[in-house]
């Protein structure tokens, strides 16, 4: 979590506190450097869903889950995405260029290679 925060929790923050059982926040990252970006949902245990803004510069990207459950999220042309988590208390997504996305891709490739 500390590495996720250090590498991705950069730039402007947006919060979503409209539901006391599921809160969310995003960080836009640094657009000029094309670095960072993060979306998080924290739930009272029942999961949840939020439409959250991550920045127009992320339009078209598919963000991957780095922590918790929930599928990939494609960011719309307006910079908004719908982040969903199943039962659980925490889920975090990051842009495809983040360290943990690269690590997950490497691990999937390595695992797939062993199965061949």
The long-range contacts involving 104-109, CB below 8 angstroms and separated by at least 24 positions, are: 104/64, 104/66
Residue 63, pLDDT score: 95
Using 70 as the pLDDT threshold, list the residues of the chain that sit under it. Answer: 98-116
Structure tokens at 8: 């991705």
By three-state DSSP, how is residue 36 classified? coil
Residue 12, pLDDT score: 96
Residue 38, pLDDT score: 96
pTM for this predicted structure: 0.81
Residue 86, pLDDT score: 86
CA quadruple 55, 57, 58, 60: dihedral positive or negative?
A: positive
- Name all domains of the chain by residue range, CATH numbers in brackets: 2-115 (2.60.40.1180)
Residue 103, pLDDT score: 59
Nearest CA among 80, 105, 100, 107 for reference residue 24: 80
């Amino acid at each position: 979590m500390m590495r996720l925060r250090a590498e991705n929790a950069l730039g402007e923050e947006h919060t979503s506190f409209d539901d006391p059982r599921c809160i969310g926040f995003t960080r836009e990252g640094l657009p000029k450097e094309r670095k960072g970006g993060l979306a998080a949902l924290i739930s009272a245990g029942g999961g949840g869903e939020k439409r959250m803004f991550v920045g127009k510069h992320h339009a078209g990207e598919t963000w991957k889950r780095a922590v918790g459950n929930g599928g990939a999220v494609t960011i719309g042309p307006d910079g908004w995405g719908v982040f969903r988590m199943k039962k659980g208390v925490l889920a975090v997504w990051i842009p495809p260029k983040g360290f943990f996305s690269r690590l997950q891709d490497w691990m999937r490739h390595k695992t797939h290679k062993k199965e061949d």
